């Protein structure tokens, strides 16, 4: 069965520090991968999606970047965090023929 | 940009009552999905309805889709306290099948 792992669950980082959030998927190949951010009590904002290794599409200009070094690995990064980067980050995947998406448990990022 | 938009933003009902949430979208879609999110957790897929379908059922869930009005509704019948959560609609756009989500409806079911 397919599973998705996202870590860490919580993170507190100072302003100006780097960020690396990792997401891995098991049990499937060539998934579409997504990074979303959710502000408190709000909907999900699509940050990045990837349809294959090295293929990254960005939805909004921002302080963040994403990479897909392997088929089932998706990394969200920042060189220097801003206070406004605080939020709940969710990784998700879906397949090519079935667009039901499966989500990780999320990372609560607090930039202080 | 956010495609689907749900209303109401918040809904509070008594256990046993039915809960109806609505979603509107702006462009053509291949399908529309509903998800549930418990506080501080990831989203869980509930149901998917394709653009050529008008109604779909899954247990106590009933989803309708009106492509002429670009809207969908999610009905939860005989609600339970455990149904308390946020509910989101999501639409797919184009061949990349990226999902875009609305801002959600916070449902509270009072025991």
Region A80-93: mean pLDDT is 95
B41 contact residues in A (CB cutoff 8 A)? 105-106
Location of structure tokens 């184009």: B94
Contact B40, A106 (CB under 8 A): yes
Task: pLDDT band for A109, please (50, 70, 90 cuts).
Answer: very high
* Residues of chain B with a CB closer than 8 angstroms to some CB in chain A: 2, 30-31, 33, 35, 40-45, 48, 88, 90, 92, 96-104, 106
A103 contact residues in B (CB cutoff 8 A)? 42-44
Location of structure tokens 């990394």: A75
Region A79-102: mean pLDDT is 87
Residue A90 pLDDT more than 60?
yes
State residue B108 phi and psi, 5-degree precision: -120, 120
Q: What is the pLDDT of residues A5-56, one digit of tens each?
A: 999 999 999 999 999 999 999 998 899 999 999 987 778 888 998 989 999 9
Task: pLDDT band for A106, please (50, 70, 90 cuts).
Answer: very high
Model pLDDT, residue B2: 37
In angstroms, the CA B110 to CA A94 distance is 34
Residue A99 pLDDT more than 90?
no
Instruction: Calculate how close chain A gets to B101, using CA atoms only, in Å.
Output: 6
Model pLDDT, residue B4: 62
CB contact (8 A) between residue B41 and residue A106: yes
Model pLDDT, residue A83: 94
Vertex A11: Cα angle to B44 and A35 (nearest 5): 45
Model pLDDT, residue A17: 97
Instruction: Calculate how close chain B gets to A34, using CA atoms only, in Å.
Output: 8
In angstroms, the CA A27 to CA B34 distance is 24
Model pLDDT, residue B1: 32
Contact B80, B68 (CB under 8 A): no
**Residues of chain B under the 50 pLDDT cut:** 1-2
Model pLDDT, residue A95: 84
């Amino acid at each position: 069965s397919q599973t998705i792992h996202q870590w860490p669950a919580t993170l507190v980082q100072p302003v100006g520090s780097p960020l690396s959030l990792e997401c891995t998927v098991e049990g499937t190949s060539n998934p579409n991968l997504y990074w979303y951010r959710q502000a408190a009590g709000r909907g999900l904002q699509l940050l990045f999606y990837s349809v294959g290794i090295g293929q990254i599409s960005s939805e909004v200009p921002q302080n963040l970047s994403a990479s897909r070094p392997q088929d089932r690995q998706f990394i969200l990064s920042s060189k220097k965090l801003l206070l406004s980067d605080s939020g709940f980050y969710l990784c998700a995947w879906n397949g090519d023929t079935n667009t039901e998406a499966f989500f990780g448990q999320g990372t609560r990022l607090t930039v202080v | 940009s956010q495609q689907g938009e749900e209303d109401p933003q918040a809904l509070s009902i008594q256990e046993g009552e039915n809960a109806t949430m609505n979603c509107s979208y702006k462009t053509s879609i291949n399908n529309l999905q509903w998800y549930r999110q418990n506080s501080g957790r990831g989203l869980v897929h509930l149901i998917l309805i394709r653009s050529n379908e008008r109604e779909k059922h899954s247990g106590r869930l009933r989803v309708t889709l009106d492509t002429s009005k670009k809207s969908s509704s999610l009905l939860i019948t005989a609600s339970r306290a455990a149904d308390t959560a946020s509910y989101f609609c999501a639409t797919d756009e184009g061949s990349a099948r990226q999902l875009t989500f609305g801002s959600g409806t916070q449902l509270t079911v009072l025991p």
